[in-house]
Amino acid sequence: MSDKKPVSPWNYKPWWCQPWSILLTGVSIISGSWLIFKIIWLTVLISIPILIWMGFFILIWPQLIIRSGILDSYQSNILDD
C-alpha cells in the first residue's frame, strides 16, 4: 500500500516562478504604476492583465498540471530510475 502524496507543480518550477515571486512581481508592478503615474484609470488598466496573469499562474495552472497527470508520470519515471 503506497500512500502517494499529491505532487506539487511548484517543486518543478524555478525560484522566479513560485507563488511568492508571482505575487511580489504583480503587486510591485501595480503599486509602481500608481506611485509613478498617480492616475487611477491607468493603474486599473495596468492591473487587469497583471491580475489575470497572477490568477492564472497561481490558481488555474497548478490545478491543470495536477489533473493532467504529467507530474505523476514524471515522478514515477524518477522513482523507476
Per DSSP, the residues of 42-63 read: HHHHHHHHHHHHHHIIIIIHHH
Domain count, the chain: 1
- Compute CA 22 distance to the chain's CA centroid, rounded to the nearest angstrom: 6
* 1 domain-assigned: no
Cell, residue 80 = 523507476
* 51 domain-assigned: yes
Q: Domain span at residue 42?
A: 18-80
Residue 73 — very low, low, confident or very high, per pLDDT cuts 50/70/90?
confident
* 31 domain-assigned: yes
State mean pLDDT over 57-80.
82
15-60 residue pLDDT tens:
999 999 999 999 999 999 999 999 999 999 999 999 999 999 999 9
Does the predicted TM-score (pTM) go above 0.85? no
Residue with cell 508571482: 22
* 12 domain-assigned: no
* 5 domain-assigned: no
* 55 domain-assigned: yes
* 3 domain-assigned: no
